[in-house]
Structure 1
């Protein structure tokens, strides 16, 4: 591979913003891809994938390069040189790249690869926590979460079928494959920008990880019901619920962030989902209005996001151990408050994109022991680990409220 100066400079600029200014990798990559209209798909792919790869392996590469944060531009070039050397890429004779000790880099890599926190490029506290909560499974799980996430689509059954969507994408030269056990999912054979396709513009699909697609199914919704998605965000699962309900009944999409619900409205129009009613949660009154009125309630709770590190590698460096204590308290409060919306005989799903038992089954167990939780019984739960499924790590529990 021959390195092109303008592409590498873009990568260095992006890494500076992500590592030193706290910017989010996905936002920076989006910005970088608009930098030069002359770039072709291969150029854009190089910039995006190189940025994500260096973000993912930051600790390992920095340790090999013997640099510490905050990284000067000179240090970022040293990290880049480590990345290139380990990929077997010949470094050009540029003044930014000092003579690179290739053999020393490879020797340090072999040495550090024997220590999990360096090999998997994670903070000490995260390694200790994973070991404590997952035991012997942590090795396999963190390794899986360091792989590039596949691109999975969910066929929008309000407009098409999985088979018709596959044919439509084939017409646009995009190959996909079915995934066993996932009723509406298609996986891209090769990564490509699907958002420019006619199929996307016509609302035939959403990009949604395979594990995430299981959540709406788990809630067991029926056409005509009143369903509340309490932490709807931009509405990936809301749209799936609307499709499963065949646009019949009502999906109330709630969130504390109004801007996310505006995005949901836009997505719902494209998807042809007409039974969604967005509602901003401005106070506890908004929850009280729905007490005992919902047939189904989805709590896709805020969490550590450790199950989605493969698609959000910079979360490894942004997440702090103190946040986990705070978020666990928030999860418990949300479960206690939002569960009151379920009518007797109705059902509730508590879900997270975390792999930690302390955010998942432990939270459900704790809830069931509370005064409010005593009115519910656990029907079933599902733990999805990335190293077993090949997709995001997830957890979901189906609870039923006892009839009066």
Structure 2
């Protein structure tokens, strides 16, 4: 069977998809989801991402037609881990601006796979109440072998920064490279293969699922277009093994069960609850053409809304290459205090408002109501530059995880990782007073 990068993808965000492995034509039952006997004597299994009674336009579920049902495994046992944390009281809160140097990759003498390389940086809430978010990084160099992972707590939005992820899911395969993202939703089993040092970021949401933001006055077109989201086609392996490890993240803890076969044995599936990927280069930027600086919300790719209209549990926002054509205005991000929390990462290049110190593979966190904005170099340059149409962020891709929740940094994020830049605050200390009551700028 072809590798994941050779498989065709099904296109379109949130649609009802049908897919079957071409080796078994007609594997999808016709006319009913759960017949007395499925074609090829497969088992029917439903994966529900919402309550059965959720409104039709919100209801998420897929039917999987597989060689064995996923219930065939030995009991789960607790796996001790200090890397994944969802008990935020273990580390005292810190309102300071924080910036991390690039998170360290495993050394050549270590073998660390995707699951073993997961580290929690910050978060809020708890999965047992299905409310909150967590931000993780993954730092690995080895493929998962006879091992899969699924998250019982929420959705993973995965942002590769270095190295390509070859992801096998129950629905098929996806190849996700830097400047692409993927979303593996609640309960979906997957395995990650890598070739060499691999690093990236993860935004986890405990309540709801990611969706496209409403466009409002923008109209029908713009930002991330539904047709550019891709989900894999069905692919199965019928493989018996001595011990296949199934790792579950449940209420913030890891558990492991063993079974004697590969869980990637889904021959056909249909539904609207699927893993998917998106190329950030396809984002259609909306920009000002007169004056002032639009809020970063115009760069939202995906959102997980809260019960409060217009307020997100989490937004995924990017700052892609674009034209800047404003007149008589301050073009970079303005100085700001926000009721939201802002965690930023850099995939490649140099971020326009922090060209020094904010590095690919690193991050920053500006917590609720903590002031932030351009450093001195950026402010002085932008205030005195000739305003003419200009390209911004060519060769650069920064992003932001924004949340209405107040995020607490873990002990690993603040201390153990040894990547926190304690000099970050200094980038604003050289901002000068320019005020002169005898002179008014025109």
TM-score normalised by length of structure 2: 0.25
Bigger share in helix: 1
The structure with higher relative contact order (CA 8 Å, sep 6+) is 2
Bigger share in strand: 2
